[in-house]
Amino acid sequence: MFSPVLILLCLQGVLAAYLGERGVAFVDPTTNGGSLLDNAGDGFGEPLNVIISGLSSPDVLTDDGIINFARAIGFSKECLGIHLGAPQSANLGDGNGFVNQTIELREDFGNALLGTCLESLIGGNHFRVYRQNGTLADTGALFLAVSKEEDIEEQHTIVPDGYDIGRDLLAANAVNDGSTTSFGGVTYYTTAENITGLLPAGAAGYVEFNIAIDGIVTLLTVMIVV
């Protein structure tokens, strides 16, 4: 017997398949001259190492939706709404060219109101969000640049192997050993798939802080359970 949750998720997936261009998980940015590295502003970039699939529940892919999902997996908006440093940009090959990050979210240590203030002091996981929605690839997918960073004394540089570590921590929180996660009265069921071939392994002088990566991008499909 199939559980009601699995039946619901299957029906939602079938519905997504009929939504035209929004019915694909994502389009490889390099197909249309984009990149899986954002622009950190210094000639280097951070890997877009997690993708929230365009086949996720539509409400997840909105600005408010990704913030609520982030809170369900241990992240929240920046401390007191204050952002230090220039935003980074990314070209997702959707025809929009380089666009600044939509939002930056930080580990909240279990406190969605003030926990990110602690992350700003002691370091932790964080991610930037970019949306693929141009005329060349209007998938609605969210590309995340995830990394674990040092504390404020180290000027928030990335910890050794911090891109791969940050990706894996976020994915583990989202999948939650096959269970659901929830916040603000919304419950999520998330599945993950690791994809190779989108990002090259290594650093080769193009990854920010010259930190080598394993080249894996994790695709998350996030469904709202009702």
**Residue 14 structure tokens:** 């079938």
pLDDT of residue 21: 54
Selection from 152, 146, 151, 169 nearest residue 46 by Cα: 146
Mean pLDDT confidence for 28-37: 96
Q: Which pTM was predicted?
A: 0.87
Domain boundaries, the chain: 4-225
Per residue in 38-79, pLDDT tens? 998 878 899 999 999 999 999 999 999 999 999 999 999 877
> Is-contact 145 102, C-beta < 8 A?
no
**DSSP letters along 18-57, please?**
TSGGGGSS---GGGGT--SB-B-SSS-B-B--EEE-TTS-
Q: Which amino acid is at 19?
A: L
Q: How far apart are CA 209 and CA 45, in angstroms?
A: 9
**Residue 163 structure tokens:** 């891109």
- Percentage of residues in the chain having pLDDT higher than 90: 66
pLDDT of residue 16: 44
Q: Tell which wins on pLDDT, 219 or 6.
A: 219
| Through-space distance between the first and last CA atoms of the chain, rounded to whole angstroms | 19
Mean pLDDT confidence for 189-216: 91
Tell me the pLDDT band of 152, cut-offs 50, 70 and 90: low
